Amino acid sequence: MREIFDFIEQNRDEYIRWLQQICRQPSVAAQNRGMSETAGMVEALIGQIGGKSMQIETSGFPVVYGEFLNGKKKTLSFYNHYDVQPEDPVNLWDSPPFAAEIRDGRMFARGVADNKGNLIARLAAVHAYQSVRGTLPINVKLIIEGEEEIGSLHLREFVDQHRDLVQADGCIWEFGYKNADGSLQASFGVKGMCYVELVCRGANTEMHSSNAAVIENPAWRLIWALNTLKTPDERVQIKGFYDKVASLTEADLDALEQMAYDEESTLEKFGLNSFLLGLTGLPLKEKLIYQPTCTVCGFQTGYTGPGKKTVMPSEARVKLDFRLVPDQDPHEILELVQRHLNDHGFSDIEVIPYTMTYPARTPLDNALAQTVIRTTREVYGMEPTLKPMSPATGPMYILCQRIGIPSVSVGVGNFASNNHAPNENIVVEDFIQGIKHMAAIIEDFSKQE
């Protein structure tokens, strides 16, 4: 691999330029801003480096599909997305969000870590490998969607209609980060999600708060309903919620034991003194990785502007997400939530479902997992931190496990990349190193039986 790594170093400025170009093009799916332009840029770049590329229409934004087919026995796919989060609040950025400015060895831009840095690193790896060796040792496919940041609304539609295009022997998933100590994380799954909005309605209009003596306040009613969902010890009280949570195996516990989680740096980063329930060590990691959650994401009702307004609201809304672990089913959880509200006297509260995503996981002894572990040692000179499952959520199950494709996540982010936040960034050297890692994965995986 030395000659390929040397080529990557010799062409680093070009690869950095590719990344800056795409980061300077906004692609905010939530606002339909710059989406067609960015999809066109990605399609053109795949073609520029010798791949077959096309935009495949969905009921939403198109999927950019690319392939480098050489008639080889094995196929590796890369899943990424070209959409990014909105850049707000802009005033908290130290440089314009789409300037892709490099300062102190870091590139700052909305989407540079999530997910354009990983996308370009993979394209650059394919380019470098082909430039040195003439051809790839395996078939490579690229599935690059435009709706990940708004819930991958039409990815299943794409997969169901184009099963032949997405079929592969393994998939490198979209994200990956370095820990505070510089070690690389490798994740082997994601949590699922059941995201809902609860709506409680009262009178047909807001009214003077003096009427609270005789008129029910929907805000209080919604608060009382929420109080039935979870106790202060963080135990979800919905009957049947934990019934399908998979039991931990010895391998699961061994993976947790070796998983690095820098408690001190994490607390310092967020300005906290302790974790939930005072957890530390193995119990903290077990809760983070293997336990489901119930989270209030936002609560909206009444008057929240400056000063006072003595008003009683006519409606109250709360958004909740339930992060799920194997073998929980988001659709079953939705039914359990509705049944719970009914059983506790809150059948009038409307439950509006949004995201329904299954958890996904790949065994650590899988061939692709072993490839990622070996190549991390080769490229980074250290053992990776093995994360049995990311506490975050993505559409991995839809594209991979549902149709028998193992998947592993590694990438070019870092523990302070500020995904979804102001001053999103990656370290430029991590980007170059990530290109080398992807090239090494391509070669090593081609040799696996």
Confidence category of residue 258, pLDDT binned at 50, 70, 90: confident
Q: What is the pLDDT of residues 58-117, one digit of tens each?
A: 999 999 999 999 999 999 999 999 999 999 999 999 999 999 999 999 999 999 999 999
Predicted pLDDT of residue 262 = 87
Of 323, 328, 192, residue with least CA distance to 247: 328
Predicted pLDDT of residue 311 = 95
Of 201, 94, 114, 130, residue with least CA distance to 438: 130
Predicted pLDDT of residue 252 = 87
Stretch 345-373: mean pLDDT, rounded?
95
| 89 prior amide bond cis, ω within 30 | yes
Helix axes 428-446, 12-23, angle to 10 degrees: 110
Give the strand pairing for 139-145 and 63-68: antiparallel
DSSP assignment letter at 84: B
Separate counts of helices (H) and strands (E) for the chain: 14, 21
Q: What is the pLDDT of residues 306-336, one digit of tens each?
A: 999 999 999 999 999 999 999 999 999 999 9
Residue 425's Cβ-side half-sphere holds a number of Cα atoms within 13 Å equal to 19
Predicted pLDDT of residue 423 = 98
Q: What is the pLDDT of residues 172-182, one digit of tens each?
A: 999 999 988 89
Of 431, 418, 438, 430, residue with least CA distance to 111: 418
C-alpha dihedral sign at 10, 11, 12, 17: positive
Contact in structure between 92 and 405 (CB atoms under 8 Å): no
**Is residue 269 scored above 90 in pLDDT?**
no
Is residue 204 packed enough to be buried (19+ CB in 10 Å), middle (13-18) or exposed (0-12)?
exposed
Task: List the alpha helices (DSSP H) in 24-154.
Answer: 35-48, 117-133
Predicted pLDDT of residue 255 = 86
